[in-house]
Amino acid sequence: MTDATEELEKKRAESNARADESRARRDRLNAESRATAEDRSRVLDELHGKSSEAQDHRRNRDQLNNQVREEKRLREEWNRKLQELGDRIQELKRARAPRPGAVPVWRLRKDLKELEFRHMTTALTGDQEKRLIEEMKRLEAAIREQDADLRQDPEIEQAMKSFAEARTEAEQHHAAVGQAAEAAQREHEAMVLLYESVDELRRQADTVQAKLLEVKAQADEAHRAHIAAIEEVRDIEKMLYAARGGRAPSGWVDAEPPREEDFLARLKKGEKVSTEDLLELQKSGRG
């Protein structure tokens, strides 16, 4: 059985080498798998962080948009009040006759607008412009004087005070609309940028996940190859034990003994040879 023993020794060495190679490959793949899992965890953490931040910007944007709608409603409400108060003031002024010989305020304002338009659209000499400006100042002074007289009336004074307050409120709500709308736009743009980052991170996570599954599958395959090689080594060691005089296992059933040349041929082909075959070869006296 010298040739058979030598062949078994050779097979055992080859199986041990395959086991070592498979173990080294498995360990390398497992290390790569852990590193890939860490990469996936890092990407997912960043993804979740940016997604949460984007949702915060979305909530802020929605709140600001609600604020814009509310400020617009208030602005329209105060604009209506402003219009109503303005109409009321005009009614009160029309109801109060000007002083005897005084030009009505409405006529003064009409004349002033005509002069302002002429000043802006007509080419004037220096003297003409000077006289035009002086006339505009006179009209403005006359308007202020009549307004001052009208304000002596408590009802007109209160209406004008309410008008000024309404105008202030309308202007404040108008400004608030612009500020809230700009803030909402900034929140929206920040949200969009973050969601673009989230989409990119999700693609990265999918890529890393696919790589992780592939590496794990390769590691599992290497582990199975390692186990198979180890089991093969153990089987060969059992056969070596038997070839060197080990006892046959219990329950042995007599069968046609194998020939040594067949036994060696099977070994050289890489086919599995059972311990029972080797024991039977020994028993036949051909080993």
pLDDT single digits (tens) 132-156: 999 999 999 988 887 777 777 788 8
Region of poorest pLDDT, from 41-50, 88-97, 183-192, 251-260: 251-260
Confidence of residue 247 (pLDDT cuts 50, 70, 90): very low
Q: Would you say the C-alpha torsion 24, 25, 28, 31 has a positive or negative sign?
A: negative
Q: Does residue 125 lie within any of the structural domains?
A: no
Q: Does residue 146 lie within any of the structural domains?
A: no
Which pair of structure tokens corresponds to residue 182?
């700009």
- Tell me the C-alpha distance between 155 and 142, whole Å: 21
187: exposed, middle or buried (C-beta count within 10 Å: 0-12, 13-18, 19+)?
buried
Give the pLDDT of residue 249. Answer: 41
Contact 259, 28 (CB under 8 A): no
Confidence of residue 207 (pLDDT cuts 50, 70, 90): very high
Confidence of residue 287 (pLDDT cuts 50, 70, 90): very low
Give the pLDDT of residue 90. Answer: 81
What's 100's DSSP letter? T
Q: Does residue 82 lie within any of the structural domains?
A: yes
Phi, psi dihedrals of residue 234, rounded to the nearest 5°: -65, -40
The structure's pTM equals 0.59
Q: State the Cα torsion 160-165-166-169 to the nearest 10°.
A: 160
Give the pLDDT of residue 168. Answer: 95
Region of poorest pLDDT, from 80-94, 110-124, 177-191, 246-260: 246-260
pLDDT tens per residue across span 250-279: 433 333 444 445 555 555 555 555 555 555
Share of the chain above pLDDT 90, in %: 54
Amino acid at 162: S
Per-residue pLDDT for 285 more than 50? no
Q: Does residue 232 lie within any of the structural domains?
A: yes
Q: Does residue 103 lie within any of the structural domains?
A: no
Distance of CA 139 to the CA centre of its chain: 64
Confidence of residue 280 (pLDDT cuts 50, 70, 90): low
Q: Would you say the C-alpha torsion 270, 277, 239, 259 has a positive or negative sign?
A: negative
Q: Does residue 63 lie within any of the structural domains?
A: yes
Give the pLDDT of residue 268. Answer: 53
Element (DSSP H or E) covering residue 97: none
Q: Does residue 123 lie within any of the structural domains?
A: no
Contacts of 26 (CB under 8 A, 6+ apart): 219, 222, 223, 226
Per-residue pLDDT for 12 more than 70? yes
pLDDT tens per residue across span 158-194: 888 999 999 999 999 999 999 999 999 999 999 999 9
Distances (CA, A) of 215 to 16, 26, 28, 204: 24, 10, 10, 16
How far apart are the two ends of the chain, measured CA to CA in Å? 4
Confidence of residue 85 (pLDDT cuts 50, 70, 90): very high
Residues in the chain: 287
Q: Does residue 252 lie within any of the structural domains?
A: yes
Q: How many domains does the chain have?
A: 1
- Tell me the C-alpha distance between 144 and 137, whole Å: 11
More confident position, 229 or 242:
229
**Which CATH number fits the domain that encloses residue 270?**
1.10.287.2610
More confident position, 75 or 275:
75
Per-residue pLDDT for 44 more than 70? yes
Contact 130, 137 (CB under 8 A): no
Give the pLDDT of residue 31. Answer: 96
Q: Would you say the C-alpha torsion 217, 218, 221, 222 has a positive or negative sign?
A: negative
Place of tokens 């003297």: 127
Contacts of 57 (CB under 8 A, 6+ apart): 187, 188, 190, 191, 194
Average pLDDT, the chain: 84
More confident position, 245 or 62:
62
Mean pLDDT of the 97-111 span: 75
Domain around 157: 2-96+153-284
